[in-house]
A and B are shown apart, each in its own frame.
Chain A
Amino acid sequence: MIRTELLNKKFKIGKGKPPIHAVQDLSLRVNEGEVFGFLGPNGAGKTTTVRMLASLIGPTSGRAFIGDLQIGKDDRQIRREVGILTETPGMYERLSAEKNLTIFAELYDVPDVPKQVEKYLSMLGLWGRRFDEVGSFSKGMRQKLAIARALLHEPKVLFLDEPTSGLDPEAAKLVRDFIEELKAEGRTIFICTHNLDEADRLCDRIGIFKSRLITVDTPENLRKQLFGRKVVFHLRALDPAWLVLVRGLDFVQDVQTVDNRLVIALAEPETQNPQIVRALVQAGADIQFVGELRHSLEDIYLQTIQADQA
């Protein structure tokens, strides 16, 4: 659905100064119906990438497509096909919520403007406040209104730039739940976020980006690639002999101890765990719990960024 081929964006910053290379050779493919998380530090070029993909600014070189439409050639049509939630909601503060959406529905050439405005104001719980000036809205309400605005024309592709940034946990959850609903509808969603927990929960795949794409895969595969799979055995007490015993098993990649726990690196825990349990029980160990050690997306992100810097 979204495809980029060696996409580049440079910004001139003044005479005699080298241009800023905001996006370097980005080649990426986001499938239809996929939720793709685009992660990276501040100033990494995420917003620039989104702006290019939403046909707001042109690339310096390379090509990008939304479906069959090419950025730079079919810009107007692309803007009809995509919805964008910009980094700041950017609403007309003196106008009502209804008026704000009506303006954008007209600009998107929505066929039945009042119906569509009502649909999204109701979906996002803002129908009761439709006549109120947006200036009187809370941050969360503005964000919801901005999401409604991005959806008025029923875009197949949605770009969400920091959708829950600055929201309180309740408002953030509302927005996340709504994104889940959009995902269930089969829309292609491209999310830029700093909220790694959110990306972990929502995204089918993530790309870690810092001017160039460092890595891209499912969160699960990235965990495996970076940290392998580790299983934690919680024991009532730890006998050093059991450590030797486990190390002796030929499929065990690594063993570490933390208090009364054995942290064992395995290639296939599903088939190898029972063998370890049997061996330990036979040796007299009392196993209280067994669980897979799950690295957070934050661990993956930090590891990737640090490795890239190194």
Chain B
Amino acid sequence: MKHIRTIIAKEWAEVFKNRLVFFTIVFLPLIFTALPLIMLSVTKSSVPEGSGSSEVPQMFAAACGSMSANDCVQAFMLNQFLLFFMMMPLIIPTTIAAYSIVGEKTTRSLEPLLATPITTEELLIGKAAAASLPAIVVGWASFIVFILLIPVTGASKAVQLYVLTPTWLMGVFVVGPLMAIAAVNLAIFISSRVNDPRTAEQISMVLLVPILAIMFGQIAGKLVIDIQLMLIFIAALIAADIGLVFLGVKMFQRETILTRWK
């Protein structure tokens, strides 16, 4: 455990000195939290009372239940921003892991590290935790700040309660960490093959594709992010995580790092 703590402290001491990583961790959550709040402020009375929910896809309108038309529109738009909170734990660890692993690779600092009595598991867990913990904490903290600030926007009680439904809570508190695990392991795999952190980061962003697909699917009225979709998404992510962790562990063996990481 002591070794893992040392690795985490080392990673944070080094990676957070990188301005790009620092800005990703500070500004991304600020933007992703501010945008839905701004949207709620701007749209608090955009749909006249009694005009129905024609502004939103029929599939979603059916799920609005007793919400007013304006609340339904706001809930629909908020659903797109839920995806932001799911993206956050993916983008942040990808950036940290890419800079951390490719950085070690290019400065050849992994070999002396591997020469210490640290186990491969301790090293991998340390690196994965250093990359994913800030993302998970920042993601959750952003969501809590978001919830606390919703009343300030003038949104109705129904909208306030909408973001506390199981769909949202699972999206933030379950999908978020699962996304972070996937991101770190994919970043490890890709970092072992490339020598530029930006390349590793960009390729790792392939994980955004399913989230974007859901976003566009919802906007197009083809699907709705509800509890059922969230459960399917979680199941798929767990399967992907298992595969990616297996791949990450395989790539992160001493001999592989020393002899094949070029």
> Which residues of A pack against B, CB within 8 Å?
11, 51, 54, 56-58, 76-77, 79-80, 82, 84, 86-95, 99, 103-104, 106-109, 146, 149-150
Bound: A123/B233 CA distance, A? 58
A-B contact pairs, 16 of them (CB 8 A): A79-B116, A79-B117, A80-B117, A86-B111, A90-B108, A90-B109, A91-B107, A94-B17, A95-B13, A103-B9, A103-B10, A104-B112, A106-B2, A106-B3, A109-B2, A146-B112
> In this assembly, does B258 line the interface, its C-beta being within 8 Å of a C-beta of chain A?
yes
Question: With A57-B255, A57-B258 as given contacts, are A76 and B119 in contact (CB-CB < 8 Å)?
Answer: yes
Give every chain A residue within 8 A of B111 (Cβ-Cβ).
Answer: 56, 86, 88, 90
**A87 vs B108: C-alpha distance in the bound complex, in angstroms?**
9
Decide if A93 touches B107 in the complex (CB within 8 Å): yes
When the two chains form the complex, which single residue of A51, A56, A77, A99 contacts B13, counting CB atoms closer than 8 Å?
A99
Q: Does B228 contact A (CB under 8 A)?
A: no
Q: How far is the CB of A281 from chain B (nearest CB, A)?
A: 62
The answer, among B17, B113, B254, for a CB contact under 8 Å with A107, is B113
Closest A-chain residue to B116, C-beta based? A107
The reply to whether A84 and B254 form a contact with Cβ atoms under 8 Å apart is no
Q: B7-62: which have CB < 8 Å to A?
A: 9-10, 13-14, 17-18
B254 / chain A contacts, CB cutoff of 8 Å: 56-57
Give the CA-CA distance A87 to B107 in the complex, in Å: 12
What is the size category of the interface that chain B forms with chain A? 20 to 34
Given that A90-B111, A95-B14 are known contacts, is A57 also in contact with B259, CB under 8 Å in the complex?
yes
Closest residue of chain A to B259 (Cβ to Cβ) is: A11
Interface centre among A77, A91, A94, A150 (most CB of B within 10 A): A94
Taking CB atoms, residues of chain A closer than 8 Å to B259 are 11, 57
Complex Cα–Cα for A51 and B255 (A) = 10
Which chain B residues (78-116) contact chain A, with CB distance < 8 Å? 107-116
6 closest cross-chain pairs (CB), A and B = A90-B109, A107-B116, A90-B108, A88-B108, A106-B6, A94-B17
Q: How far is the CA of A146 from the CA of B18 in the complex (A)?
A: 23
CB distance from B119 to the nearest CB of A (A): 7
| Chain B nearest Cβ from A107, distance in angstroms | 4
Any chain A CB within 8 A of the CB of B141? no
The CA-CA distance from A115 to B2 in the complex, in Å, is: 19
Complex CA–CA separation, A107 to B6 (angstroms): 7
B227 within 8 A of A: no
Residues of chain B within 8 A of A77, CB atoms compared: 117
Write the nearest CB–CB distance from B159 to chain A, whole angstroms. Answer: 45
Q: Shortest beta-carbon distance, B18 to chain A, in Å?
A: 7
Do B114 and A56 touch across chains, with their CB atoms under 8 A apart?
yes
B145 at the interface (CB under 8 A from A): no
Whole-angstrom distance between the alpha carbons of A86 and B9 in the complex? 23
What is the CA–CA distance of A104 and B109 in the complex, to the nearest angstrom?
11
Give which listed residue, B10, B112, B117, B119, contacts A86 with CB less than 8 A: B112
Shortest beta-carbon distance from B3 to chain A in Å: 6
Measured in the bound complex, the distance between the Cα atoms of B17 and A93 in whole Å is 11
The minimal Cβ–Cβ distance linking A192 to chain B, given in whole angstroms, is 14
Q: Which residues of A contact B206 (CB under 8 A)?
A: none
Within 8 A of A (CB), among B229-262: 254-255, 258-259
Residues on the A chain within 8 Å of B144, using CB:
none
In the complex, the chain A residue whose C-beta lies closest to that of B115 is A84
Chain B residues whose CB sits within 8 angstroms of the CB of A11 once the complex forms:
259
Whether A94 lies near B18 (C-beta < 8 A) is: yes
Q: Given the complex of chains A and B, what is the CA–CA distance between A108 and B111 in angstroms?
A: 14
A84 close to B255 (CB less than 8 A):
no
Contacts A84-B115, A95-B14: A107 and B109 contacting too (C-beta < 8 A)? Answer: no
Query: Does A92 lie within 8 Å of B258, measured CB to CB?
Result: no
- Given A76-B117, A95-B13, CB of A58 within 8 Å of CB of B255: yes
Tell me if B118 is interfacial: C-beta within 8 Å of chain A: yes
Contact, CB under 8 Å: A56 / B115 = yes
Report how far A109 CA is from B258 CA in the complex, Å.
23
CB distance from A235 to the nearest CB of B (A): 56
For A80, the chain B residues whose CB sits under 8 A away are 117
**Which residues of chain B come closer than 8 Å to A92, judged between CB atoms?**
10, 14, 107, 109
- Tell whether, in the assembled complex, residue B13 and residue A107 are in contact, meaning their CB atoms are under 8 Å apart: no
- Name the contact of B6 in the complex, choosing from A82, A103, A149 (C-beta under 8 A): A103
> CA of A149 to CA of B9 in the docked complex: distance in angstroms?
18
Asked, given contacts A11-B259, A90-B107, A90-B110, whether A79 binds B10 with beta carbons under 8 Å apart, the answer is no
Of the residues B3, B108, B258, contact of A56 by C-beta under 8 Å: B258
CA A57 to CA B253, docked complex, whole Å: 10
User: With contacts A56-B254, A77-B117, A90-B109 known, what are 18 further pairs, Cβ within 8 A?
Assistant: A54-B115, A56-B115, A57-B255, A76-B117, A79-B116, A79-B117, A86-B108, A86-B112, A88-B111, A90-B107, A90-B111, A92-B14, A92-B107, A94-B13, A95-B17, A99-B13, A107-B117, A109-B117
